[in-house]
Structures are given as C-alpha cells and as structure tokens.
Amino acid sequence: MFSYRHAFHAGNHADVLKHTVLIATVQYLTQKEAALTVLDTHAGAGLYRLDGDYANKSGEAEEGVLRLAAANEAELAPVLQDYMQMVRSFNQGEKLRNYPGSPFIAQALLRPHDRLKAFELHPTDMRSLAGNLGQLERHRQVTVLPEDGFEGVKKFLPPPSRRALLLCDPSYEMKSDYGRVLDMVTDSMKRFPTGTYAVWYPIIPRPDAHDLPKRLKTMATKAGKSWLHATLTVKSNKTSERGGLPASGMFLINPPFNLKEQLKPAMPQMVKLLGQDGNAAFTLESGG
C-alpha cells in the first residue's frame, strides 16, 4: 500500500501536463474575490530534489521538465511559460535542483483568504510534506491531513465559500483506485455540484485506465456539466528498455472556460519537446 514514492517520478512528462493544467486552473479560479478551497487528495512530499537519489535513479525529469528548461522558454505557450516560472521560483540560478509538487504549486498561487487541504497517507511522505509546508510563511493557510484523501474530502464539501478545486491523482498502483476515483467524484458532485474536479490518470494497457475517462465523461454529461479531457503520449505503449509511463491524461469537470484555448498551443509543444518516439501525440477535447 505504501510502496509508491512520487520522488522517483517528479518532473516527468505526466507532471508537466498535470501541473500546467493545475496552474492555469488555480490562476483562473483565484480571479474571483470569494475564497477558494483546494483539496489535494494525494499530496505526496510536496517538494522534491531533482539531483537526489530518487530522481537520479529514474531519470524521468530529464525527459520531462528538464527538456522544457533546455528549450527557448520565450517561445513556449503562455501556460508553459507560467509552468516553468513556477518551477524556477523554487530554484536559484539556471540549474533546476528542486521540483514543486501539487501542494506547493497550489499554495504558491493562493491568496491569504484561500485554503489548501493536503491529504497524504504514506507516513514518510506525510512527515516530509508537513515539514516542507511548515517552513512556508503561508503555512497557516495549509492543513496537512494524514488521512485517506478519497474519504477525507467529504467533510470539506461544500466549502463555506462555495468555491473549490479538487485535484485527485493517486498512483493507481492499487487497481481499486480507478473505482475509488469514480465513487469519490460521484459523491463529491452530489455534495457540491459547482466545484471544479480535476483527475489525473495514467494511460496504460489496462481496461480500468481505458474506461476511466469514458466514465467520467458520461458522469459529467448526465449531470449537465462541462468537461475537458487532455492527454499526452510521449512514446509507444510497448515497454521500452527503460520502461516508464508512456502517456497520461487530465480530465476536468467544470473546468475554466478558457482552459482549452490556453492548452491548444501548449499541447503540440509538449509533444515536440517531450516526445520520445514517433508515437508521441496529444488529444484535447471538451463538451458540455
């Protein structure tokens, strides 16, 4: 249950997609004055060393964020520029040594009256998360909860301000996570229909992974809600010598109305910069 450590994967191509979408979404949601609550169901350690043992062992950041860092950032789409600016804000100098996870990215964008609830069950990562966030000036805005995020979010929906973003990105190492994601989103939308729900998932040769976005789309459509689905493939499904995740997706319910337009120029750039073989591609669709 506690085998997964995101430190091995920090800054990989899936993080580039996930965190680009997260930044654009939080930026949009904080344009309105009313307070925003961000719920991060699987927060991880929050901050990762790209020159540490975990990242060096996997080398995934070299095929992710570090490829963007080596590009001409002035030519990147605005949302990718925002992403790189966020990553660089946690580093000094040109070399990237630190990588911010989703709770650190969210807290950096929140205003004084906004709140972040970060859930993490892994005991080591939870202690790291609490310690890392505790060093921030804004730590009073942030609550670290050593709980199961799938269940823990229930007590925060609906939030007092009636504005919330829920980010769900489990490891999916446990097959049951796919069903739990669907159950959580179903329950959350009943509790708070107008919330924004963002689900990250791996694209792998497994029926559950294939069905997840389809079922989320059906759920959103039946509820009369808008949705957005973005996928990034960097290589063939066939396992390469180094292995690693070939593709991932982000599915949002009640997304920012301008998110699709923001991603249109960014997705081809991700394919060009992060692609590892001729199978690199993207999809971007919306409805509702």
Which of the residues 82, 169, 187, 211 is marked catalytic?
169
Among candidates 49, 57, 56, which has minimal Cα distance to 97? 49
Q: Could you tell me where the beta strands, DSSP code E, fall in 43-148?
A: 47-49, 98-100, 115-119, 142-145
User: Within 10 Å of residue 29's Cβ, how many Cβ atoms?
Assistant: 20
User: Within 10 Å of residue 100's Cβ, how many Cβ atoms?
Assistant: 23
C-alpha–C-alpha distance, residues 162 and 157, integer Å? 9
Cα→Cα distances 288→118, 191, 266, Å: 29, 20, 22
The reply to whether 169 belongs to the active site is: yes
C-alpha–C-alpha distance, residues 148 and 133, integer Å? 19
Q: Which residue numbers are catalytic?
A: 169
